Amino acid sequence: KNEVEQSPQNLTAQEGEFITINCSYSVGISALHWLQQHPGGGIVSLFMLSSGKKKHGRLIATINIQEKHSSLHITASHPRDSAVYICADYEKLTFGTGTRLTIIP
C-alpha cells in the first residue's frame, strides 16, 4: 500500500493569493493524480503527472519522482477555487485525505 499524505489539511487564504498544496507518498509510482472535490461533493480530475510540470489555466502541478513529492499551485486564487483537493495513486488505488481550501473574497 502507498501511504499518501497531504499538507496542509486546511488552508484559508485571501482572494488573489498564491496557493501551494503538497502531496508526498511512500512508494515509487509511475503517475500521480490530482482531483478536485466541489463543495457539492462531485469529484473531477485535474491532472495526471508522471514527471515535471503541467499547467491548466491558473493551476500548476509539479512532481519530483525521486523525492516522492508533488505540489499543486493555484495562482491568483479566486473564491470559486474553494474545494477539497486530493492527490491519488491509481496504481495502488490509494488517496490522500485531502486539503480543504477556502478562498475569502
Partner 1 sequence: NAGVTQTPKFQVLKTGQSMTLQCAQDMNHNSMYWYRQDPGMGLRLIYYSASEGTTDKGEVPNGYNVSRLNKREFSLRLESAAPSQTSVYFCASSEESYNEQFFGPGTRLTVL
- In the complex, the residues that contact partner 1 under the rule CB under 8 A are 1, 4, 30-31, 33, 41-45, 48, 86, 88, 90-91, 93-98
Q: Shortest Cβ distance from residue 19 to partner 1 (Å)?
A: 20
Q: Shortest Cβ distance from residue 3 to partner 1 (Å)?
A: 11
Q: Nearer Cβ to partner 1, position 4 or 77?
A: 4
Q: Shortest Cβ distance from residue 17 to partner 1 (Å)?
A: 25
> Dihedral of CA 95/39/22/59: which sign?
positive
Q: What is d(CA 68, CA 82) in angstroms, rounded to the nearest whole number? A: 26
Alpha-helical regions (H) of 35-75: none
